[in-house]
Structure 1
Amino acid sequence: MDLDLALHVNEPLIPKESSTPEERSLYESWERSDYLSVSLIKTHARDFIKAIEEQFVNADKMLANTLMKRLSGMKFDNSKGVLEHIMEMRDIAARLKSLEIEIFKSYLVYLILNSLSTEYGPFKILYNI
């Protein structure tokens, strides 16, 4: 079938009226091989691209799951400032948004307030009022 002819032989010149039958035959064989090779590549490339897309979807779901667990389980531990803690939670929410999972602002504020320690109780009360 000479399927790999187009891969091993450079494209021959397009036959002219003065070309020999062998040159014409070589060009026709090469052209057929090129067409079949491209068709084969296109067929398998679609399957390959689809498999890659499925891998990214699974990776995105796992990342979103990890970020959601991290966001909902965060607690302020005085190891850094309150501002840094809040900014970290906001950054996680932004990463989730880039994965097309939007956290409503009111829910994010709820998560932030609940992550603060009891010493921030007056602040929580003031916010809720």
Structure 2
Amino acid sequence: MSLMIIKRDISEAFRGAISKRITSAKEFLAEMEKRFAKSDKVETNTLFQSLISMKYKGKGNVREYIMEMSNIASKLKALKLELSDDLLAHLVLISLPAQFSQFKIS
């Protein structure tokens, strides 16, 4: 596919963001990939925010809820933000409603 066809078919906002030095479709696609690369910092922030703001609403299985929190912690670990088991346990307990107070104490 030629660069002219690609430039013609995409939005002006993207065309204006790309350098005039680019002369091939391959260079153009590489530049687009660099500009829109996934940011690990953003993903880490989003996952961590999700984890600390989770609250069990009393619907569904508590075990599945805890596994969901553990899954998020695993994703954070893959992004080089490892939470200790103790911290994860505290986050789980904090997120449980008052009806689990006996469970929280023990």
Task: With a CA cutoff of 8 Å and minimum separation of 6, indicate the structure with the bigger relative contact order.
Answer: 2
Q: 1:53 to 1:90 in 2, by over 3 A?
A: farther
Question: 1: distance between equivalents of 2:52 and 2:105?
Answer: 21
Larger radius of gyration: 1
Question: 1: distance between equivalents of 2:41 and 2:37?
Answer: 10
Query: How far does residue 69 in structure 1 lie from its aligned partner after superposition?
Result: 0.4
Aligned to 2:40: 60
TM-score (norm 2): 0.65
Pick aligned residue for 1:114 from 71, 94, 98: 94
Q: Structure 1 residue 92 and structure 2 residue 72: aligned?
A: yes
Question: 1: distance between equivalents of 2:87 and 2:61?
Answer: 22
Unaligned runs of 5+ in 1: 1-44
Unaligned runs of 5+ in 2: 1-26
Q: Counting helix residues as a fraction of each chain, which structure ranks higher?
A: 1
Query: How far does residue 78 in structure 1 lie from its aligned partner after superposition?
Result: 1.5
TM-score (norm 1): 0.54
Q: Which amino acid aligns with 1:93?
A: A
Identical residues among aligned pairs (%): 36
Q: In the TM superposition, what whole-angstrom CA distance separates every residue of 1:56-96 from its partner, at most 9, and x where no partner exists? A: 4xx11111100000000000001211001100000000000
Query: How far does residue 55 in structure 1 lie from its aligned partner after superposition?
Result: 3.3
Runs of 4+ with deviation above 4 angstroms = none
